[in-house]
Amino acid sequence: MKLDPTKMKDWEIAEAAAEHMKTVYQLGEELGLEKEELLPYGHYVAKIDYAKTLERLKDRPDGKYIDVTAITPTPLGEGKSTCAVGLMEGLGKRGKNVVGALRQPSGGPTFNIKGSAAGGGLAQLIPLDKFSLGLTGDINAIMNAHNLGMVALTARMQHESNYTDEQLAERGLKRLDVHPKSVEFRWIIDFCAQALRNITIGIGGRMDGFTMQSGFNIAVSSEIMAILAIANDLKDLRERIGKIVVAYDKTGKPITTEDLEVAGAMTAWMVEAVNPNLMQTVEGQPCLIHAGPFANIAIGQSSVIADKVGLKLGDYLVTESGFGADIGFEKFWNLKCRFSGLKPNCAVVVATIRALKCHGGAPIPRPGRPMPPEYNEEHVEWVEKGTANLLHHIETVKKAGINPVVCINAFYTDTKNEIEAVRRLCEQAGARVAVSEHWLKGGEGALEFADAVIDACNEENDFKFLYDLDTPLRKRIELITKEVYGGDGVDYSPEALAKAEKIENDPELSKLGTCMVKTHLSLSDNPNLKGVPKGWRLFVRDILTYKGAGFVVPVAGTISLMPGTGSDPAYRRIDVDVETGKVKGLF
């Protein structure tokens, strides 16, 4: 059966391709995995025992390390995952031993407007239904581990409010004296549930819990998700979970999960989740799926463990950072690579003609609404003006000392003149440019893309961090704002300023990394400012401390850690064929 993306929906392509996919046993054999290193979850999905695999291959040299990032996207996304999969397929067509390492999709966007993160057309991961609907349960494990910590905290607050010190001692407890207005932890759920952002818990009698304000964040923003992304092994993960600060006592002293004696039980939920998952592209290239944090409200990377395993198993490892280079790549550069000790050989900056038009003055597309007709017409002037945003991201990659490759993620509505305008401007800026038709043609359409990446990987680079860990927090935030976002400076709310000063004066906290939270729809903290905004200042309204993950989290603008579900969500079109049990409508 010929798979035609112009006539078939993504889920229809995935369903048809799944009829011919390799079993995990075939994938394992092709990767050179030993029998005990492959942990099957059915015939087409598996986990890999990372510890046994890395121990056996510890003397094997690493492959080439490639990160896929992008320009500032439209609300519809620019196809980074599609490009990452297309690059895997293109490298496969060139006879290269390639492995991918991508994030697991959250149920939030899958059932909302953006959809799953499997790629699209002939450049997607299969089986799509397993990928999109929980996979092997990692996010469920994270939710249970995280919420168990919240259960322990709220139960302790209830008991301390009901019992005297002597009565607590009889139960083997020492009073922690949690300040009810200094609780850092919240509940998590893997949906976009704006109704749960702010709630009151403990309503009822004295045995119904401690009454206080609380709320939910989306699961991928959990500190445990961040820990899964950056942990080097199970021991490291256990130690980090024990350092999570859930609240402060009435003297301002932090209270951790270790203080609550729940860290071990939380880790028990994560024992299986620490192993990366194995899937494949529609053309049979292996891809490791592990961790799934968003980049606008979290670290935005797949796991360090998956990268390390993939670099041992393949000659090329393709990973991807969430949203634009100002967000996902900046965290890959200054956080993930710092935690892992790995140095990339190449970074891909994905761009679409559609997004360049948006940055150049075209009407902003709105999720759930028809695409404005201007996007199906030739507008070279908008494309040229919008390319300023792409050039800004190219310079960000260069500041890391990495060789940039621009991938024009081609749509069939793009015109030759529009594409040539982008190529000309990017080559003048010193970047390689490749046009890729992987969505339409799979690996055959990504050969120019693959060749450009191979060439970039063969060049030496001078990878360096933007800041060292001795740099004070506010100086780091200013560096990121000026050097990566293009802002003029930083302003703080009184609360954020007080927290920044406290962190800078704490010998331990001052050495943590910096994980910015900011809108992905603009280089600024205002999602409505497109292109390369000038004359603006970043507003930091709060600063969170993720001591277990090893970074502090400055929160800029009005962004929320719990996204909302739109008026035309994807779940309206998802259903099950009750005769076959197959899921339809995913995208």
Asked whether 483 and 466 are in contact (CB, 8 A), the reply is yes
Token pair of 206 as six digits: 């004295």
Contacts of 322 (CB under 8 A, 6+ apart): 80, 103, 293, 294, 295, 296, 300, 301, 328, 520
Q: Which of 373, 334, 390 has the alpha carbon at shortest distance from 512? A: 334
Helix axes 80-93, 447-457, angle to 10 degrees: 80
Token pair of 338 as six digits: 């710092």
Rounded Cα gap, residues 437 and 373, in angstroms: 22
DSSP 458: T
- Segments of 141-224 assigned E as strands: 178-183, 187-189, 199-201, 212-214, 216-218
CATH 3.40.50.300 for domain 138-260, yes or no, is no
* pLDDT for res 567: 87
Rounded Cα gap, residues 265 and 268, in angstroms: 5
Beta-carbon count within 10 A of 506 CB: 12
Rounded Cα gap, residues 464 and 487, in angstroms: 22
CATH code for the domain defined by 10-135+273-457: 3.40.50.300
How many Cα atoms within 13 Å fall on the side-chain side of residue 575?
5
Task: For residue 185, give Cα distances in angstroms to 182, 239, 280, 357, 501.
Answer: 9, 18, 36, 41, 22
Assign 213 to helix, strand or coil.
Answer: strand
Assign 227 to helix, strand or coil.
Answer: helix
Tell me the pTM: 0.95
Rounded Cα gap, residues 554 and 499, in angstroms: 10
Contacts of 251 (CB under 8 A, 6+ apart): 177
* Domain positions in the chain: 10-135+273-457, 138-260, 473-556
- Cβ-defined contacts of 231-235 (< 8 Å, 24+): 231/274, 231/303, 231/304, 231/305, 232/304, 232/305, 232/308, 232/339, 232/340, 233/50, 233/51, 233/274, 233/305, 234/51, 234/267, 234/270, 234/271, 234/274
CATH code for the domain defined by 473-556: 3.10.410.10
Residue 535, Cβ density class (10 Å: 0-12 exposed, 13-18 middle, ≥19 buried): exposed
Catalytic positions, written as ranges: 80, 82, 103, 114, 295, 323, 411, 439
DSSP 61: P
Rounded Cα gap, residues 195 and 190, in angstroms: 13
Helix axes 138-162, 223-230, angle to 10 degrees: 130
Rounded Cα gap, residues 136 and 133, in angstroms: 9
Helix axes 416-428, 380-399, angle to 10 degrees: 30
Residue with token string 């092709």: 30
* pLDDT for res 413: 87
Q: CA 220: distance to chain centroid?
A: 8
pLDDT in tens, the chain (587 residues): 589 998 999 999 999 999 999 999 999 999 999 999 999 999 999 999 999 999 999 999 999 999 999 999 988 777 899 999 999 999 999 999 999 999 999 999 999 988 888 899 999 999 999 999 999 999 999 999 999 999 999 999 999 999 999 999 999 999 999 999 999 999 999 999 999 999 999 999 989 999 999 999 999 999 999 999 999 999 999 999 999 999 999 999 999 999 999 999 999 999 999 999 999 999 999 999 999 998 898 999 999 999 999 999 999 999 999 999 999 999 999 999 999 999 999 999 999 999 999 999 999 888 767 889 989 999 999 999 999 999 999 999 999 999 899 999 998 889 999 999 999 999 999 999 999 999 999 999 999 999 999 999 999 999 999 999 999 999 999 999 999 999 999 999 999 999 999 999 999 999 999 999 999 999 999 999 999 999 999 999 999 999 999 999 999 999 999 999 988 899 999 999 999 999 999 88
Beta-carbon count within 10 A of 182 CB: 13
